[in-house]
Chains A and B, each alone.
Chain A
């Protein structure tokens, strides 16, 4: 359990760093590190496939996409973030966490949840046999993403209005 807590703290710290860091590349790397920690957490919670996806796709692929975007938009110069927002963030965050801890503990401890039906079979069975429509949805959303990127990077035939 204590390892879990440490991992959770690491996740929070990396995420906060991703918000606070000025340099976009460093922020993106912090985000990737947070994903890595999250992937390990998933693995320890008994979800190895989700963990592998989190590490390879989110920490890997999405970070690459971020880097690509940052590289393509590099010459734009720095965007001045407001100082106040940056300074105020840790304060707000700690305040929120304190409220969060109290509220969640009180909320959750009182409630009764129904016992779950015991699960049988393997992960593949569950995904392919029980939640097949999710796979159809995945196909839809992959199509949507691919077509969206194609549409956004198409050659504009006539009105090139830059």
Chain B
């Protein structure tokens, strides 16, 4: 099974890196959340690919569907928070969010 697993693992790790980089380096709140979405893609890719390589695709598929539902909930909550932050500051810049001490 391992040889079919490898390319997917490589790509998923790459996407994970891209997402985390986006979280660390970017300053726009929406852009940060795009980073989160890229991480989610990495996770759902790795779930389905594992099932595919393992010939356990039915279980993996049901996990992936559940994961997508979780993702939607999360996105709705996060975007609601972003809109609320925007109402206060009229800006999406993370640097203006530094009133709390690190």
Direct contact of A and B (CB under 8 A): yes
Residues in A22-46 with C-beta less than 8 Å from chain B: 24, 27-28, 31, 34-35, 38, 41-42, 45-46
Flag if B14 contacts A41 (CB, 8 Å).
Answer: no
17 other A-B residue contacts (CB within 8 Å) besides A61-B72, A66-B34: A5-B7, A16-B18, A45-B57, A53-B68, A54-B44, A57-B72, A62-B37, A65-B79, A69-B79, A79-B93, A108-B2, A109-B6, A111-B2, A126-B58, A134-B63, A149-B80, A152-B84
Whether the pair B55, A79 counts as a contact (CB closer than 8 A) is no
Complex formed: what's the CA distance from A16 to B38 in Å? 9
B interface residue numbers (CB < 8 A to A)? 1-3, 5-11, 13-15, 17-19, 21-22, 25-28, 30-31, 34-35, 37-38, 41, 44-45, 48-49, 51-52, 54-66, 68-77, 79-84, 86-88, 90-93
Q: Which residue of B lies closest to A101 (CB)?
A: B10
Please name 27 pairs of A and B residues whose Cβ atoms are closer than 8 Å in the assembled complex, sorted by A: A8-B7, A15-B18, A19-B35, A34-B41, A38-B44, A41-B48, A45-B49, A45-B57, A47-B61, A50-B65, A58-B71, A69-B82, A69-B83, A77-B91, A79-B28, A81-B28, A85-B25, A97-B14, A108-B2, A116-B55, A119-B56, A119-B58, A127-B65, A134-B62, A134-B63, A141-B73, A152-B84
- Per a CB cutoff under 8 Å, which of A28, A31, A41, A47 touches B51? A47
Interchain nearest-CB distance for A39 vs B (Å): 10
Residues on A with beta carbons closer than 8 Å to the beta carbon of B70 = 138, 141
- CB pair B77 A152 closer than 8 Å: yes
Determine whether the beta carbon of A50 is less than 8 Å from that of B68: yes
Chain A residues within CB distance 8 Å of chain B: 4-5, 8, 11-12, 15-16, 18-19, 24, 27-28, 31, 34-35, 38, 41-42, 45-47, 49-50, 53-54, 57-58, 61-62, 65-66, 68-70, 72-73, 75-77, 79-82, 85, 88-89, 92-93, 96-97, 100-101, 104-105, 108-109, 111, 113, 116, 118-119, 121-123, 126-127, 130-131, 134, 137-138, 141-142, 144-146, 148-149, 152-153, 162
Chain A: minimal CB distance from B98 (Å): 14
Chain B contact residues, majority secondary structure: helix
Instruction: Tell whether, in the assembled complex, residue A96 and residue B14 are in contact, meaning their CB atoms are under 8 Å apart.
Output: yes
With A50-B61, A96-B17 as given contacts, are A19 and B22 in contact (CB-CB < 8 Å)?
A: yes
In-complex Cβ contact of A85 among B14, B26, B73, B83 (8 A) = B26
CB-CB nearest 10 A-B residue pairs: A145-B73, A85-B25, A50-B64, A45-B52, A152-B80, A127-B62, A47-B61, A79-B28, A148-B77, A126-B58
